[in-house]
Structure 1
Amino acid sequence: MTMIQAINSAMDVMMARDPDVVVMGEDVGYFGGVFRATAGLQTKYGKTRAFDTPITEIGIVGVAIGMAAYGLRPVPEIQFADYIYPALDQLVSEAARLRYRSNGDFIAPITVRSPYGGGIFGGQTHSQSPEGIFTHVSGIKTVIPSTPYDAKGLLIAAIEDNDPVLFLEPKRIYNGPFDGHYDRPSRNWSAHPAGAVPEGHYRIELGKAATVRAGEAVTVLCYGTMVHVVEATVEAMGVDAEIIDLRTLVPLDIAAIEASVQKTGRCMIVHEATRTSGFGAELSALVQERCFYHLEAPIARVTGFDTPYPHSLEWAYFPGPVRIREALTKLLKD
């Protein structure tokens, strides 16, 4: 399966298993979503379980929270992560706090799906990576898959979770992983081991990282599209790097990070979002606090730049092979 097909399969499986699961959002019903992630669900389950909404993100999320408090398990789609900001108050002030403020009488089991990151030349309003905003909010879980297999298992786990989950989908790898040149698919997911996705129900526990590549010289922490870029770069360099795909940022698999960094003695963090106050800053602080006496060099970060998202210079903005190679070379010399 491609990642799009795996995400569609996850919703299909959960809608078949649980009549309380409903899919909602702009163009997700009849049209099947801008990226076709919800294709066929309305035909199969009807207009009351897979339905279109007005163009109002605050309304989509607000209604979903009310549905969740009533007992349903809504899976609202925000068409692009850049559009999520009008719904920020509902997510932060209502969804994240509902269980606590009601002393457990109400829960908000909503899974907000949204394509995120660059790769389609969408510019400033279709390419942002806002995960750092939500990892700061207590009560919201943040998930970012990097393969079709993980996407399906993590999405099923998110829908079954009783707390609100922000499920960010790297649209750049919806249809295939990318090679080190970072500007074209290197292979179709169907020919890639990570593209092998079971048809039925399975779940991947939230909060468990994956070791993509074992190594002894340096630990590279990454997620989403960056997993594939890092892997291609490391393989081209011949570096004995251990690549950790975080998969979920909240909850975070701190034990896996700690074990890897203590083994290698070096750590590099790679993410697409802007550098300042990005999630890499939190990772750097955690590694420093827990692994200081094992570190043989300063922690390195390779990230997007602290600029508005550039349309025409999109490929320069991405952390690509050149910047990753330079950072790794310096880190291994320190």
Structure 2
Amino acid sequence: MRDVAERAGVGLGTVSRVLNGSGAVREETAGRVLAAIEAIGFQRNEIARSLRPGQHSHTFGLLLGDLTNPFYASLAKAAVEVAGREGYAVLLSTADEDPQVERRAIANLIGRRVAGLIVVPDQGDHSYLDHLNAHDRVPLVFVDRPATGTDADVVLLDNEGGARRATEHLIEQGHRRIAILVAPSYYTTGRRLRGYRRALREAGLPVDERLIVTLNRGSAADAASATRDLLASAEPPTAVFATTSFLTEGVLRATQQLRERLGLVGFDDFRFADLMQTPVTVVAADTEELGRHAARLLLDRIHGESGPPRRTVLPVHLIVRGSGEVRQGRSRTARH
């Protein structure tokens, strides 16, 4: 730590706060500390005195996005179960799409001598992992998204194929003006947008850019606002494809408030989707299998599996419940 502090021109306490993610450190200062850590290849070993040189703990590191999102909670639950059956504990951390927080979290996990890492990467450059991990190679698996700047095993969903099928389903029901709500994401919802465009092109339908709504945030409130704007436009859509479950919730809120009927397919299933007045058609994925598969790949690497990085794409499937068949118009229960 002294070498890091000297190189970054800060005190030991500042280095400690950056590594622990505790206390206030200016962004520019934190950046200098992280750059020094990368340059030196520093790793803090919290439990080094209890381990022989080169030995790792019987622990996974699991770095995810927002744990309030049921998607990540389900993924984590499955990975923890697989790890537990093999006698491994799991250290759980979150980064919330913040590259600086992610770097600190991964440095901290490596410093704790985890046997391996499962990471949902943010959209930044991940070549820094090669520096952090230079002296003590730790197996790494990316899940839900690939990373840039480094090579490792990755487990993904068929985002493009699922979105294509969702859009095809709406077209099959007679919809021609199909809007899409796109949550901010550098990979998953971008691939879902590609699937939407592809389905329209293959059906010989124009891609109306006015019906493609990219949101600043992926919240239900933003999706509800966007849906109200679409319905108030001169040429409103007859159906919407929502690229996350949060956005699906927002569409439902808006249509219920306005007493509007609108065709709808969402990506990702959610609780009570089948209990709505009009049950919601969704593209569903086995999120738990995503976590299980990532954990199994990591165990393989920990146990000596070699070879080039593996890329696994898990299938998704359409659950037809009725909302895709709904045609636009005022609900019969609307007040006059």
- Could you say whether these structures have the same fold, taking a TM-score greater than 0.5 normalized by the shorter chain as the test? no
- The structure with more radius of gyration: 2
TM-score (ref. length: structure 2): 0.31
TM-score (ref. length: structure 1): 0.31
